[in-house]
Amino acid sequence: MYYPNFKDTIAASPYIFTLGVAGDSGSGKTTFTEGIRNIFGTDLVSTISLDDYHVSTVTAAGSRD
């Protein structure tokens, strides 16, 4: 009996899967999501990271854009 691996099953699916990862600072969220990307590949995984999102909104003078 043939059992396709999970990556092939996801790749062949007509559905879009969304996985949200939340946790305390330093809890391994980035490590976990990098692992998912390594397993499934960049052709199947897109990552939206909000690490340090607030830094990009502050100018050198310290005021917000």
- Separation of alpha carbons 54 and 37, rounded Å: 25
CA–CA dist 29, 24 (Å, integer): 8
- Dihedral of the CA atoms 21, 25, 30, 35 (nearest 10)? -80
**61, pLDDT greater than 70:** no
Asked if 49 and 56 count as a contact pair (C-beta separation under 8 A), the reply is: no
Residue 59 has pLDDT above 80, yes or no: no
What is the C-alpha to C-alpha distance for residues 33 and 19, in angstroms, rounded to an integer? 9
Locate 34 and state its tokens.
Answer: 């990098």
The answer to whether residue 60 scores a pLDDT higher than 90 is no
The pLDDT score that the predictor gives to residue 4 is 75
pLDDT digits over 9-54, tens only? 888 999 999 999 988 888 999 999 999 999 999 999 998 887 766 5
Position 63 pLDDT exceeds 70: no
* pTM exceeds cut of 0.75: no
